[in-house]
Amino acid sequence: MRILWLALAIMVPVMAPAQLTFTTNNGAITITECNAYSTGALIVPNNINGRPVTSIANAAFSQCGKLTGITMGTNIVSIGNEAFIGCESLASIIIPNGVTNIGFGVFTGCASLTNVVIPARVTSIGQDAFLDCFSLRDITIPSSVTNIGIVAFGVCSNLAVINVANGNPVYSSIDGVLFDKNQTTLVEFPFGKVGDYTIPSNVTSIGSYAFYYCSELTNVTMGSELASIGTGAFFHCAGFTSVTIPNSVSNIGDRAFENCFNLTKVLPGTGVVNVGQSAFASCSKLVSVAFTNSLVYIGWYAFESCSGLTNFVIPNSVATLGSSAFEGCSGLTTMTISASVTNMEDSVFFDCPNLTNVYFEGDAPYVYYKVFDGLNDIGYYLPGTTGWTTNFSGLPMVQWLPHMQPMSVALPVPTNQFAFNINWANGKNVVVEACANLAAPVWTPVATNLLSNGTALIRDQNSTNYLNRFYRVRTP
């Protein structure tokens, strides 16, 4: 009887917990699935049937939304993509020390996860790894990590600090997150309530979605070595009120500042060449942005729904205005199109109901479909330019002539001098002449002025010498 009992004991295998399904490959176990009805805490054993449990398969726990805690065995070295995606009740997890890679979307949607310690051998944290982990408050990343994927910590709205081990140099190119790996403890992290963040001085590129949905971030200081701002880099940074872009930046990527709906002012550097698709779309409070003559391209929907913009001057370097670039800019009243613009794509000014004055500084550009559709405006062209008709793609056109108007009271004028402003195209020369009798006019020059920013202040030192004094403006 005793012998039989021993024999039976030897024949009974060590079974996996009832919640788990697994496969065997080359003598090792991979956990492939978790019972969708599993609740509470779960332990993944070191061994099943005498074989080591070494890996978690892709999406293995994706149906286990009611699990609150998972402890993995020490033999595990591999965790598959989206292994714990959607485990919305998971509050704690221990990642074994043998794991070297946190793959794509491993913890996406783990909304109850509060803290994570990344083991010291991990070298890579994949795209979307902790996306939508709303409760995540702190994380420790070892110095072994050399790559962090796009949106790795996206929409982690409560993540306030990150612990970074010393050892590696600061990144020069960033995807997903920014942090200074030379700092040792409690480095403030942009996805939390940190207010200000200074990008390390030798960072040359802010990668895609680096500060995605950092709604608590109020200010970012960019270094002088920065050359490019990637796709969605500051998407929905709702705390931004102003942004200063260094002269070193040449590219503002697609959707870079989209939905920064409290952004009122942008100060672009002198090196910006490209403004990408939807770069400032839905920045509804943006009232001030002035690019220099380095800018070549304004992308599709670049300023869509920027309803706070009232006027915009296209720099004299831009060749193309992308489709719907200013669509929905309901506050836009005036627009100046530089002589460099040769192409205006579809619906550039669609749904701009208050745009009443469009000023063209050069020859007629090639226009696509519905560029001025639905507008109640007038276009103005300069004398001497070509290609214009009285109705240009549905836009009534008239000649753009210098305009004289009273001087602003804010500007000082010497005693006994009459002064007024001339408004016309930027960079144009005007000659101001005066006479004392319109019935027998003898026009004499008063001033020749180059208009800077489209305006010039004219002062007549001899105005008090005449009972009547009349003025006219002409080109040289």
223-260 pLDDT tens trace:
888 888 988 888 888 888 999 999 999 999 999 999 99
pLDDT given at position 414: 55
pLDDT given at position 14: 36
Q: DSSP letter for 172, please.
A: S
Going by C-beta distance under 8 Å and a sequence separation of 6 or more, which residues neighbour residue 188? 160, 161, 162, 194, 197
pLDDT given at position 10: 33
Nearest residue to 383 via CA among 476, 302, 311, 286: 476
- CB contact at 8 A, 95 and 119: yes
Percent of the chain exceeding pLDDT 90 equals 44
Paired tokens of 196: 């200000």
Q: How many residues does the chain have?
A: 476
pLDDT given at position 348: 92
pLDDT given at position 92: 86
Confidence class of residue 450 from pLDDT cuts 50, 70 and 90? Answer: confident
- CB contact at 8 A, 202 and 173: no
pLDDT given at position 161: 57
409-436 pLDDT tens trace:
445 555 567 888 888 887 888 899 999 9
Pairing, β 187-188 against β 205-206: unpaired
- CB contact at 8 A, 258 and 286: no
Confidence class of residue 403 from pLDDT cuts 50, 70 and 90? Answer: confident
CATH number of 1-99: 3.80.10.10
Report how far apart, in Å, the C-alpha atoms of 103 and of each of 74, 80, 82, 108, 351 are: 18, 6, 7, 11, 44
State the Cα–Cα distance between residues 92 and 69, nearest whole angstrom.
5
State the Cα–Cα distance between residues 454 and 14, nearest whole angstrom.
85
The model's pTM is 0.68
Secondary structure, 3-state, 199-266:
CCCCCCEECCCCCCCCCCEEEEECCCCCCEECCCCCCCCCCCCEEECCCCCCEECCCCCCCCCCCCEE
Phi/psi-derived region of residue 308, left when phi > 0, alpha when psi is between -120 and 50, beta in every other case? alpha
- CB contact at 8 A, 126 and 103: yes
Lowest mean pLDDT among 121-125, 149-153, 469-473: 149-153
- CB contact at 8 A, 259 and 236: yes
- CB contact at 8 A, 103 and 79: yes
State the Cα–Cα distance between residues 93 and 115, nearest whole angstrom.
9
State the Cα–Cα distance between residues 379 and 310, nearest whole angstrom.
17
Rounded to an integer, the average pLDDT of 446-473 is 84
CATH number of 246-400: 3.80.10.10
Going by C-beta distance under 8 Å and a sequence separation of 6 or more, which residues neighbour residue 465? none
pLDDT given at position 163: 60
Rounded to an integer, the average pLDDT of 170-178 is 40
State the Cα–Cα distance between residues 152 and 94, nearest whole angstrom.
19
DSSP assignment string, 90-136 = --EEE--TT--EE-TTTTTT-TT--EEE--TT--EE-TTTTTT-TT-
H/E stretch holding 162 reads: strand 161-164
- CB contact at 8 A, 85 and 109: yes
Confidence class of residue 173 from pLDDT cuts 50, 70 and 90? Answer: very low
Confidence class of residue 286 from pLDDT cuts 50, 70 and 90? Answer: very high
- Hey, what amino acid is at 459? R
256-281 pLDDT tens trace:
999 999 999 999 999 999 999 999 99
Across all residues in the chain, what is the average pLDDT?
Answer: 82
- Torsion angle of alpha carbons 267, 231, 207, 246, nearest 10°? -10
Query: With 50 as the cut, is the pLDDT of residue 5 above it?
Result: no
75-103 pLDDT tens trace:
999 999 999 999 999 998 889 999 999 99
Query: With 90 as the cut, is the pLDDT of residue 170 above it?
Result: no
Query: With 90 as the cut, is the pLDDT of residue 205 above it?
Result: no
Pairing, β 47-48 against β 51-56: antiparallel
DSSP assignment string, 341-382 = --EE-TTTTTT-TT--EEEE-SSPPEE-TTTTTT---EEEE-
pLDDT given at position 426: 79
Pairing, β 403-406 against β 418-423: antiparallel
Confidence class of residue 372 from pLDDT cuts 50, 70 and 90? Answer: confident
